[in-house]
Amino acid sequence: MEIIDKIGKYDNLAEPFHCDFSHRLFMGNLGNHLLNAADFHSRDRGFGMDYLNSINKTWVLSRLAIEMDEMPMQYENFCVETWIESAMRYFTNRSFRIVSSSDNDTRPKTYGYGRSIWAMIDTETRQPSNIFDVNDGTIMKYVENEKENPMEKLSRVKMADDAELVRTIETLYHDVDINGHINSVKYIEHVLDLFPLEWYRENTLKRFDIAYVAESYYGDRLNFYRETDAEDALAFKIRITKTPSRGGEEVEVCRSKLKFVQPINGFQKI
Amino acid sequence: MEIIDKIGKYDNLAEPFHCDFSHRLFMGNLGNHLLNAADFHSRDRGFGMDYLNSINKTWVLSRLAIEMDEMPMQYENFCVETWIESAMRYFTNRSFRIVSSSDNDTRPKTYGYGRSIWAMIDTETRQPSNIFDVNDGTIMKYVENEKENPMEKLSRVKMADDAELVRTIETLYHDVDINGHINSVKYIEHVLDLFPLEWYRENTLKRFDIAYVAESYYGDRLNFYRETDAEDALAFKIRITKTPSRGGEEVEVCRSKLKFVQPINGFQKI
């Protein structure tokens, strides 16, 4: 059966073990739900990862940004809506909206939005692959350019060269995903783990941006460099580099940007 | 509406980001699904965590063991069944069965089983609390002692004093659960992270037992001691201790036992 809806909607529950000390969903777990929604949406429409793999292609997540007015709380049901905002030859822009989905909601509450950029590559050459060649460009049928996403568009994260090295970690069994790469969600968690629990008592993560620059692998050491903002004490940029296990040059793998708010300006902690 | 089924059944999907390099669900994620099932089952029957908290009581997970013939694979639907096998004054024995739940399954496949022990405590005194006092002993209506669980009963994990210190870690933001304690699932993940990826290429985790002895908190350092078995190269015991951030004596927090099999004796890796 062909699915004609351009927008995919996927229900989720903020599971208790996926919530932080403030009883709100961890940003990394929300990111996981967004990536699942993207996967389900594309599978259901004929350009999913499993079909692509069968023709030696795959989706690669290039950027992800999430901006929240409020994080779903423990046991709250929420729905991740996702749609393709635009598709170019080598990239698609995919949007997300996170809304409440409890039965007794008369008017669903919007928790926040997400934006992402995905590239299609050839799994053998690792080169960009033309998205319109897949299933006779079927993806174009699903481009939804009228649904609003009020988030600012993604922009390059510019970083100075003098960011401070704040942590180096080993990659372990749980860091590795089904493709043998370091899991996209784990990078988010490692970045957020750079801030002490006390920080999260006073400050709430409002927006998280991450650009995936290169892949890293089991055994690589990951180095985290932090740049503070002279004009905004609640804004940070983090560069992640890898030092390969066999030695060799340090290479940038991710770049991320965090914007916190204090509860009085943002949403209230319980 | 009163639920009369003694057995709760909860459908799950092996999400791709919850699977390891072999495309099988991580044991820690399965553990999370089991704990959720326990929570949903007790909530639906009038003795859930949220009701207990309102009368200053709570469930405390004392032990958990999982034994698998096969781990659900990426995108597989599976169902966690859970029931109370027996209830004593201060403890309940809760069982789990993990079965396939795809639509086209004519005869569901059993992936494995779990066993757990839960204590009820008073949240003010932290002392054991009589389970039969809650809702006039309503829990007894739900004891299901006919459903089979072929797993060996839980037994004490005895450890020698000369186990080797193999790792010490700091606890970070993502380690802390909604109660401010180190998350029960994170201990499982930290234990499994002691083994290198290469180990998991050759060996498959068949059974995992963990006993929660004491709580640890953000800032505590966790120390992992490993004991090998002279007669079984695929069996390990791990003791976790904490060194409080304010200093002080090293205290045992968990004890766990792992039994691996080689694919030829156990289930096949893809």
pLDDT in tens, B155-211: 888 898 889 999 999 999 999 998 899 999 999 999 999 999 999 999 999 999 999
Give chain B positions within 8 Å (CB) of A14: none
pLDDT digits (tens, 9 = 90+) for A166-189: 999 999 999 999 889 999 999 999
| Residue-averaged pLDDT of chain A | 92
If asked whether residues B186 and B71 sit together in one domain, one would say no
Task: Give residue A16's pLDDT.
Answer: 92
Contact by Cβ (8 Å): A58, A48: no
Asked if A64 and A210 count as a contact pair (C-beta separation under 8 A), the reply is yes
Q: Which of A204, A192, A197 is nearest to A167 (CA)?
A: A192
Q: How confident is the model at residue B100 (pLDDT cuts 50, 70, 90)?
A: very high
Chain B CB within 8 Å of residue A52 CB: no
d(CA B8, CA A78): 23
Please judge whether A173 and B36 are an interchain contact, meaning their C-beta atoms are less than 8 angstroms apart: no
For residue A178, give the nearest of B19, B35, B176 by CB distance: B19
Inside any domain, residue B224? yes
**Gap between the Cα atoms of A236 and A165, Å rounded:** 13
Number of structural domains chain B divides into: 2
CA distances, B209 to each of A1, A47, A226, B171 (Å) = 45, 41, 39, 22
- Looking at the domain assignment, is residue B19 inside a domain? yes
Residue B189 with chain A: CB contacts under 8 Å: 174
Asked if A31 contacts A80 with a C-beta cutoff of 8 angstroms, the reply is: no
pTM to 2 decimal places: 0.94
* A122 in the same domain as A211: no
Tell whether B55 and B168 lie within a shared domain: no
pLDDT of residue A108: 86
- Given CB atoms, is B183 within the 8 Å cutoff of chain A? yes
**Which residue in A has a C-alpha nearest to residue B15's C-alpha?**
A36
The answer to whether residue B1 sits within a structural domain is no
* b/e per residue A25-54 (b: at least 16 CB within 10 A): bbbbbbbbbbbbbbbbbbbebbbbbeebee
Decide which of B126, B141, B156 is a domain's last residue.
B141
* Model confidence at B91: pLDDT above 50: yes
| H-type alpha helices, chain B | 27-43, 49-54, 184-192, 197-202
Contact A184/B21, CB-based, under 8 Å? no
Show which of A88, A108, A141 is a domain's final residue: A141
The pLDDT of residue B107 = 81
Confirm whether B268 is domain-assigned: no
In this structure, what are the phi and psi dihedrals at residue B117, rounded to the nearest 5 degrees? -125, 130
Do both A108 and A168 map to the same domain?
Answer: no
Distance of CA B220 to the CA centre of its chain: 22
Domain end call among B141, B173, B190: B141
* B28 belongs to a structural domain: yes
Residue A266, in any domain of the structure: no
What's the whole-number mean pLDDT along residues A127-147? 90
Cα–Cα dist B134/B155, whole Å? 28
In a domain, B63, yes or no: yes
| Two structure tokens written together for A220 | 């690589």
Q: Do B18 and B67 lie in a common domain?
A: yes
Rounded to two decimals, the ipTM of the complex is 0.93
Measured between beta carbons, which residues in chain A are less than 8 angstroms from residue B217? none
Core vs surface per residue B55-83: b (16+ CB within 10 A) or e: eebbbbbbbbbbbbebbbbbbbebbbbbb
Of the partner residues B36, B173, B180, the one whose CB lies closest to the CB of residue A195:
B173
Residue A84 to residue A116: CA distance in whole angstroms: 10
Q: Percent of chain A having pLDDT more than 70?
A: 95
Question: Does A128 lie in the same domain as A71?
Answer: yes
| Residue B151 in this model has a pLDDT that exceeds 70 | yes
Q: Is the pLDDT of residue B141 over 50?
A: yes
Judged against a pLDDT cut of 50, whether residue B270 lies above it is answered with no
Q: Does A166 touch chain B (CB under 8 A)?
A: no
Residue A44 at interface with chain B, using a CB cutoff of 8 Å: no
The CATH code of the domain that includes B188 is 3.10.129.10
Shared domain for A43 and A132, answered yes or no, is yes
| Contacts A–B by Cβ distance under 8 A | 88
Q: Which of A12, A13, A17 to mutate to test the interface with B (most CBs of B within 10 A)?
A: A17
With an 8 Å Cβ cutoff, are A74 and B178 in contact? yes
Same domain, A225 and A170: yes
> Nearest-CA residue of chain A relative to B38?
A16
Indicate if A63 and A131 belong to the same structural domain: yes
| A13 and A130 belong to one structural domain | yes
CB nearest to B218's CB, from A178, A185, A197 = A197
Distance in angstroms (rounded) separating the CA atoms of residues A135 and A152:
32
Q: What is the pLDDT of residues B121-136, one digit of tens each?
A: 999 998 999 999 888 8
- Does residue B269 surpass a pLDDT of 50? no
Which residues in chain B are contacts of A218 at CB distance < 8 A?
21, 197
Domain that holds residue B188: 164-261
Question: What pLDDT was estimated at residue A1?
Answer: 52
Residue B228 sits in the same domain as residue B102: no
Which two tokens mark A157? Answer: 């994260």
A270 in contact with B, Cβ within 8 Å: no
State how far the Cα of B88 lies from the Cα of B176, in Å rounded to an integer.
30
* Residues A222 and A179 grouped into a single domain: yes
- pLDDT tens digits, one per residue of A202-232: 999 999 999 999 999 999 999 999 999 999 9
Is residue B95 within a helix (H) or strand (E), and if so which, with residue range?
strand B91-100
Give a yes or no: residue B244 inside a domain.
Answer: yes
Task: Pick B195's closest partner by Cβ from A16, A173, A178.
Answer: A173
Instruction: Tell me the C-alpha to C-alpha distance, in Å, between residue A269 and each of A141, A201, B213.
Output: 42, 8, 31
Averaged pLDDT for residues A52-56: 92
* Cα of B26 vs its chain's centroid, Å: 12
A263, pLDDT greater than 80: no
